[in-house]
Chain A
Amino acid sequence: MRLSRRRILAIVRKELREYRHNGAIITTMAVLPMIFIVAPLIEVLALPASSAGALLAGDPLAILLGIPALVPGTLAAYAVVGERQQGTLEPVLTTPIRREEFLLAKAVAALLPSLVISLVVYAFFLGCVKVFAQPEVASAVFRGQDILAQVLFTPLLATWSIWVGIAVSARSGDQRVAQQLSALASLPSILVIYLVAYNVIPVTANLAFGIGALLLVLDVLGWRIGSALFDRERLVTGSR
C-alpha cells in the first residue's frame, strides 16, 4: 500500500487551518494542562531549601506527563465523529484518500498542537521554578534525566492518547460521548504516571526504556487498530 504524502498533508493543513480559525480549540487545550501543573508547582515553590533532597528521592514531576496522556485524546476524539456530525466526512471519503492516510493525517494534526502545548507548559513550569523556587530546589528540579524523560515520553504518550481518541471517535455516534470515553480511556496511563510520580513504581533506566519501547509499539499498533476500526460503511450510514 502506497501512502500519499500530498493527501495526508491536505488533511493536516486543513485541520491546522481549522484550529487557527477556531481559537477556542487551542485555548481549551491549553487550559486543561493547568490542572496538572498547579499542584506540583505549589509543592515545589513551597519547599524549603533543606527539603530539596526529597525531590531527588522520587519523581514527582512525572505528573506533568499527564498532560500529553490526557489532552491530545480529547482533541483526537473529535477527529472522525466530529467530521461525521458536521457532514464533511462523506465528501472526504468519496475522494481517493485511504483510511490509513486519513487517520494518520488526523493524528499528526492533533499531535502537533499537543506537543507544543505540553512542552510550553513544561517550560513554563521550569521557568517558574527557576525564578521563584529556592535555588537548591531549582537545581534538584533541573535534572537532565527528568527533562530528557519529559521530552521523550511526551510524544510517545501523546501519540498513544491520540490513537485511543481516534479509535473511540471512529466507533462513536456522538462527539461529546467520544470525548468523555477518550478521557476515561486515558485513565490507565494517568494511573501509571501517578504511581511513578509517588514512587509506588520506582523508576529505573530499564523500566523507563521498557515503557518507552512498549509505547512505541502501541503507537504503531494504534494506527493499525484505528484503521481497522474505521468502517466507511458504518460511518456513512450511521449503523451501529
Chain B
Amino acid sequence: MSGTDAVPSTASGGGAPALVVDHLTKRFGDRAAFEDLSFEVGRGEVFGFLGPNGAGKTTTVRTLATLLAPTSGSATVAGIPLTTENGVEIRRRISVMPESPGLYLRLSVVENLRCFADLYEVSDAGDRIDRALHAVDLSDRADETCGTLSKGLRQRVALARALLSDPDVLFLDEPTSGLDPVAARDVHELIDELRKRGVTIFLTTHRLDEAERLCDRVAILSTTLRTIGRPDELRDELFARMLAVTTVAALSEPDRVFGGLPGVDRWRQDGPATYLLDVSDAAVAAPAVTRSLVAAGADVLSISQSHHSLEDVYLELIDEERKAARG
C-alpha cells in the first residue's frame, strides 16, 4: 500500500483535525526520509506512528514540529499551516518530548521546568509546574538535580516539561525507549491519563504492544505510509479471522467435519490434532463447527478464535516490503 492509498483515514476526534498531513515529503539530498505522507489526526486522538528504525518517524515529528522544512507537500498543525513563518505560532501550540529527555543535568527538576515555562511564556508558571509535577508524580523530587535521577525519572521530567504549556498536540517520540518494564508501564499510565484529559497525542514507537494498548489508530511507516487504521481494522484487513480447533486425537475424516459448514471458508491441519479454519464470521462458524465435531464423535480439547496481534500486522507489512525490495 502506498502513502496515497492510505489517505482515506477517519480521525476519531470531533471538530477540525489536530493534524492534517497532505502528500508531505522530506528528502536529504537524494535520500527520502519519508515520502508522500497523507493522514489526519483528530482532536483528542492517540495516534500511533509505527515503523522500523530509519523509517522516518522522528523526521516526521521534527518536520511537523517545524524543526525541519518539508521538501514538498503541506500540513496543518494545531490548525495552523506548516510554514517557516508560522514556526513560532505552531511551536506555541505543541509540545515535543524527544526520544532523549534532553534535560539540563546540573539543574534541579523545578529549575528545568521553570526555564521551559518561561520559554512557553505560560501565565501562571508556578501553578503549571506544580500541576505538571503532580501529573507525573514527581512533586516530592522537585528540588533534586536531574543528573541524579534514574532514566525513568528523567523521562517523567521530560513528560512534565511537555505538559507545561497545555499543548493542543503532544508529540511523544519513543517515550519508553530504553526504559525498564516498570518505568515503561508508568509512562503508559501517564499517556492513558492524558488521553482521558482529551490531549491529542502523536506517539512514535516501535513497541507494538505499546501502540496496541494506547493508540486509537496507528499508521505504519517505512519511508512511505504502509497502512493506517485502528489496530483491529488492520488485523481484519490483513488476516482472515480464524478458529483453532484442537482434538484429543486426529480426526479420521476432517474434510467431512469442516467442509461446507456455514461461515467456514477453508481449513488446514496445523499439527497432529489441530486444525485452523478461516472463517468469515466466528459467531456463525463456531457453533456449527462444535455441532459437527460432536456429531463426528470427536473429543474436543478446545475451540478458540485465533488472535492476530498488531505485531503480526506490522511484520506482515514489513516482510512484504522486504520481499518486494529484494525483487
CB-based contact B121/A96 at 8 Å: yes
Which residue from B62, B100, B106, B121 sits with its C-beta under 8 Å from A22?
A: B106
- Spot the interface stretch: A86-94, A145-153, A204-212: A86-94
- Report the number of A-B residue pairs with Cβ-Cβ less than 8 Å: 86
Q: Which residues of A contact B238 (CB under 8 A)?
A: none
The secondary structure that dominates the B interface is mixed
> Does B103 sit within 8 A of A, measured CB to CB?
yes
> How far is B105's CA from A91's CA once the two chains are assembled, in angstroms?
14
Size class of the A contact interface (CB-based, 8 Å): 20 to 34
> Does A239 sit within 8 A of B, measured CB to CB?
yes
CB-based contact A17/B65 at 8 Å: no
> Does A50 sit within 8 A of B, measured CB to CB?
no
* Chain B 119-159 interface mask (CB, 8 Å, partner A; 1/0): 11100000000000000000000000100000000000010
> Does A174 sit within 8 A of B, measured CB to CB?
no
Within 8 A of A (CB), among B38-71: 62, 65, 67-69
Q: Which residues of A contact B67 (CB under 8 A)?
A: 90, 93-94, 232-233, 236
CB-based contact B104/A7 at 8 Å: no
> Does A176 sit within 8 A of B, measured CB to CB?
no
CB-based contact A87/B121 at 8 Å: no
Q: Which residues of A contact B161 (CB under 8 A)?
A: 91
Within 8 A of A (CB), among B272-315: none
> How far is B161's CA from A233's CA once the two chains are assembled, in angstroms?
23
CB-based contact B91/A94 at 8 Å: yes
Residues A94 and B65 in contact in the complex (CB < 8 Å), given A11-B115, A87-B100: yes
Q: Which residues of B contact A90 (CB under 8 A)?
A: 67, 96, 98, 100, 102
> Does B212 sit within 8 A of A, measured CB to CB?
no
Q: Which residues of A contact B102 (CB under 8 A)?
A: 86-91
> Does A136 sit within 8 A of B, measured CB to CB?
no
Q: Which residues of B contact A6 (CB under 8 A)?
A: 118, 121
CB-based contact B68/A233 at 8 Å: yes
CB-based contact B96/A91 at 8 Å: yes
Nearest chain B CB to A95 CB, angstrom units? 4
CB-based contact B96/A94 at 8 Å: yes
Closest to B69 in A: A233
Within 8 A of B (CB), among A53-76: none
Q: Which residues of A contact B88 (CB under 8 A)?
A: 96, 98
> How far is B102's CA from A22's CA once the two chains are assembled, in angstroms?
18
> How far is B100's CA from A91's CA once the two chains are assembled, in angstroms?
9
Q: Which of B69, B105, B114, B115 has the most CB of A within 10 A?
A: B115
> How far is B111's CA from A89's CA once the two chains are assembled, in angstroms?
16
Closest to A102 in B: B119
CB-based contact B96/A14 at 8 Å: no
Closest to A2 in B: B88
CB-based contact A92/B69 at 8 Å: no
CB-based contact B115/A13 at 8 Å: yes
> How far is B96's CA from A218's CA once the two chains are assembled, in angstroms?
36
> Does A97 sit within 8 A of B, measured CB to CB?
yes
> Does A4 sit within 8 A of B, measured CB to CB?
yes
Which residue from A22, A87, A95, A98 sits with its C-beta under 8 Å from B116?
A: A95
CB-based contact A14/B95 at 8 Å: no
Q: Which residues of B contact A87 (CB under 8 A)?
A: 98, 100-102
CB-based contact B69/A97 at 8 Å: no
CB-based contact A10/B118 at 8 Å: yes
> Does B1 sit within 8 A of A, measured CB to CB?
no
> How far is B67's CA from A86's CA once the two chains are assembled, in angstroms?
18
Closest to A7 in B: B119
CB-based contact A237/B107 at 8 Å: no
> How far is B79's CA from A236's CA once the two chains are assembled, in angstroms?
25
* Chain B 63-99 interface mask (CB, 8 Å, partner A; 1/0): 0010111000000000000000000110110111010
Chain B positions near chain A (C-beta within 8 angstroms): 28, 62, 65, 67-69, 88-89, 91-92, 94-96, 98, 100-107, 111, 114-116, 118-121, 145, 158, 161
Chain A positions near chain B (C-beta within 8 angstroms): 4, 6-7, 9-11, 13-14, 17-18, 21-22, 86-98, 232-233, 236-237, 239
Given contact pairs A10-B114, A21-B106, a sample of 19 additional A-B residue pairs in the complex whose CB atoms are under 8 Å apart: A14-B107, A14-B111, A17-B111, A88-B104, A90-B98, A90-B100, A90-B102, A91-B102, A91-B161, A94-B98, A95-B91, A95-B120, A96-B88, A96-B92, A97-B119, A232-B67, A232-B68, A236-B67, A237-B68
The 9 closest A-B pairs by CB, nearest first: A10-B118, A95-B119, A21-B106, A94-B96, A91-B102, A87-B102, A14-B115, A96-B92, A87-B100
23 A/B residue pairs, CB under 8 Å, sorted by A:
A6-B121, A10-B116, A11-B115, A13-B118, A17-B107, A17-B111, A18-B106, A21-B106, A86-B102, A86-B105, A87-B98, A87-B102, A88-B104, A91-B102, A91-B116, A93-B67, A94-B94, A94-B96, A95-B91, A233-B69, A236-B67, A237-B28, A239-B28
